Structures are given as C-alpha cells and as structure tokens.
C-alpha cells in the first residue's frame, strides 16, 4: 500500500528546533518528488518545501534559511529540520508525494499530518 506517515510534531518554544519525520511505504523516495505543506489553525494550505528525486530541495521564502528538507534513502524516510521556530510556524505539517514528473500532476499521496505548536 502506498502510504506516508509523519511524526515528530509537538510543543516547542520560540527559537527552538524540531525535526519532523516522514516515513513512506509502497514507493521509493528517490524515485519521487516529495513535499511538505502546512496548515495553520483555521487557515488555508501553504507550500513549505519540495525535495526532488535527484535530492535538491527548494523552500518557501517564509522558511528559507531556517528549515532543511533531506532524506535517508536507505530507510525511505524524509526529514524536515526546523530551526529558529516562530509562532507563525505553528501548523499541521503534511508530508506528501508529488505525482509524476512535477507539480503539474498534483500531489497525490498525503500523510495524516503532524501538529507543531510554537509557544512559550
């Protein structure tokens, strides 16, 4: 079964760091582009980052320089390292698979999300 499962969310103080994990099954992370999308409470969807199959990541301006998206190919697991967290980073973070060669084909496999709350 094709599946994505996130973990690692929690309550963290402003300025702190957190690492989210994304475990996949049914497909390889090196053969697919993967993305993180977040959703603040009561708000819409926001693109965070994409990691292309070749391994090069891109980031939204709002997280550039603070977040790092990388993978462990051997374990088919991806990570989002989040540093210098701010209150406006509080959200449900979804890990998901980009369908096909690029975003033109949409994002078709989503995890259930993991909640990050940045608060003192």
Residue from 15, 16, 25, 45 in contact with other proteins (CB under 8 A)? 45
Considering CB under 8 A, how many residues would be counted as binding other proteins? 22
User: Do residues 53 and 38 lie in contact, with contact meaning Cβ atoms separated by under 8 Å?
Assistant: no
Residue from 25, 70, 105, 119 in contact with other proteins (CB under 8 A)? 105
Q: State how far the Cα of 58 lies from the Cα of 51, in Å rounded to an integer.
A: 7
Residue 102 engages other proteins in binding (rule: CB under 8 A): yes
- DSSP assignment, residue 38? E
Which positions from 60 through 99 interact with other proteins, judged by CB under 8 A?
A: 60, 94, 96, 99
């Amino acid at each position: 079964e094709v599946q994505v499962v996130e973990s690692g969310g929690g309550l963290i103080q402003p300025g702190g760091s957190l690492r989210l994990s994304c475990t996949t099954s049914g497909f390889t992370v090196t053969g697919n582009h993967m993305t993180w999308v977040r959703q603040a409470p009561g708000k819409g969807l926001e693109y965070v980052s994409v990691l292309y199959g070749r391994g090069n990541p891109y980031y939204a301006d709002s997280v550039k320089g603070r977040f790092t998206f990388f993978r462990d190919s051997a374990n088919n697991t991806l990570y989002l390292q989040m540093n210098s967290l701010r209150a406006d980073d509080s959200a449900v973070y979804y890990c998901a698979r980009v369908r096909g060669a690029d975003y033109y084909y949409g994002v078709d496999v989503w995890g259930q999300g993991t909640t990050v709350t940045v608060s003192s």
